Amino acid sequence: MVSNYFLNGGDIEAIAKDVDAKQNEIFLKTLADEKAAGLNISADCFAALDWDMLHDYDYSIYFKK
């Protein structure tokens, strides 16, 4: 999809929204499948609520001992 935009032009916003929707659909289906298999998981497990998106994410919190 995106490569088609670069080759042929088009509405990049519509293309990006379509890609985002498909990725979210796959993500949510995967979570639902895992939950059905017994894993206690939701999309909230992947939220970084304290992240200021204007700054790089600090991955070091995952490496603290």
Of 22, 27, 26, 64, the closest CA to residue 47 belongs to 27
Task: Kindly tell me if the per-residue pLDDT of 6 is higher than 80.
Answer: no
In the block, tokens 């088009």 appear at: 10
Q: Which residue, among 49, 1, 48, 43, has the nearest Cα to 22 in the 3D structure? A: 1
Centroid of chain to Cα 32: 15
User: Among 27, 20, 60, 57, which residue's Cα sits nearest to residue 41?
Assistant: 27
Q: For residue 59, give the 3-state DSSP assignment.
A: helix
Q: Tell me: the pLDDT tens digits for 15-63? A: 889 999 999 999 999 999 999 999 999 998 888 778 888 988 888 878 8
Q: What is the pLDDT of residues 46-58, one digit of tens each?
A: 887 788 889 888 8
